[in-house]
């Protein structure tokens, strides 16, 4: 389990990604998810170029027909995983098609 102080430090950095746009290179559909993400299946993940860097990131608010190579995407902040009632809710960056 991640410590609350570590989560807080990471959350402080999230605002710097808001509003940024990137380009989707490749993606895949996840049908069998790792522990903690089972409730999200099926979902998409892809490699996005953001500020000149390639980043693996989850794609949200899209269906398979919408996704195309070199498509513009926008960074959004969403909940990561599923927190128990005693856990701190973790947030992270994801992307959605524009």
pLDDT, tens digit, for every residue of 57-97? 999 999 889 899 999 999 998 888 776 666 777 788 999 99
Q: Coil, strand, or helix at residue 63?
A: coil
Count CB atoms within 10 A of the CB of residue 6. Answer: 11
Condensed to tens digits (0 to 9), the pLDDT of residues 1-31 reads: 567 777 767 777 788 888 899 999 999 999 9
Instruction: Say if residue 36's pLDDT is above 80.
Output: no
Place of tokens 């996005």: 48
Q: What is the mean pLDDT of residues 38-51?
A: 91
Q: Give CATH for domain 4-97.
A: 2.40.50
Q: Record the tokens describing residue 70, joined without a space.
A: 């070199």
Residue 50 has a pLDDT of 92
Q: What is the mean pLDDT of residues 31-58?
A: 90
> CA-CA-CA-CA torsion for 59, 48, 68, 74, nearest 10 degrees?
60
Looking at the whole model, is its pTM more than 0.85? no
């Amino acid at each position: 389990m991640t410590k609350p102080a570590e989560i807080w430090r990471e959350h402080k950095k999230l605002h710097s990604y808001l509003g940024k746009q990137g380009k989707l290179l490749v993606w895949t559909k996840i049908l069998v998810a790792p522990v903690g993400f089972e409730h999200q299946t099926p979902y998409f993940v892809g490699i996005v170029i953001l500020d000149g860097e390639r980043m693996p990131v989850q794609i949200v608010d899209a269906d398979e027909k919408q996704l195309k190579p070199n498509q513009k995407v926008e960074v959004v902040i969403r909940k990561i995983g599923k927190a128990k009632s005693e856990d701190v809710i973790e947030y992270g960056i994801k992307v959605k098609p524009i």
